Structure 1
Amino acid sequence: MLTGSDLLNRVKELGDISKTDLARGCGYVSTKKDGGERVNFTAFYEALLEAKGVSLSTGGSAGIGKGGRKLSYIATVQGNGNLLVGKAYTAMLNLNPGDEFEIKLGKKAIRLIPVGGSEEDESGEE
């Protein structure tokens, strides 16, 4: 599957052909279990947008969560007492499974400080 400038150049080379042939010609094809061919249009268009400088990655689309919904930046305590921070937020911060945080409690506030980091480093303030 072509990406970046290689993808843009190939699209120009192929010229005015069907969208299916265009995606296929750039390598966005997979084989189904039954041996048939599947053209991966979504991956093709996402790569094309990336090549043109439009980022669709979670980290690059601040404030946009799953399904393109705008993030509310509000968390609600669940019935069992847990407070959940969703995947969209952890992805924006490039957090990975296993990352550890120190919990700092204030007056009606909770701060999560990465283990080994400092409050100043993570807040963006100096």
Structure 2
Amino acid sequence: MMPKRTKKNKPLTGQALLAKVSTLSDLTREEKAKACGYFTFAKDSTERINVMAFLNAVLDAEGMDLGAKGKSNGKLGGRKLTFRTSVQSNGNLLVGSAYTKKMELQPGDEFEIALGRKHIHLKLMAEED
């Protein structure tokens, strides 16, 4: 009989998950899911591996959304990522939340702006300790 787990495991997500998965190429999906923390113990102490949650986390980390989160009246809402934008009437350029989520940016992250002749380069500033 397996001992009961007292500490809840925290599965890997985002870039940490992708990095771990890339080192486990010789394992099965179930073994990869377990190695990345996608398992629980039932009341009878049997181990349950949650492969579906693992696969969904990998898709999320890769920036793929196969769900219908923006569903409204049976239609998918929202724009597709095109990596193009245009200047708004007030002169602003808008970078949508889909892009900042893909880059795993957080509120308050700061950027250095470098202007070229026909381009704008944004460089994420390193956090100061």
TM-score (norm 1): 0.46
> Which structure features the higher share of helix residues?
1
Structure with max Cα Rg: 1
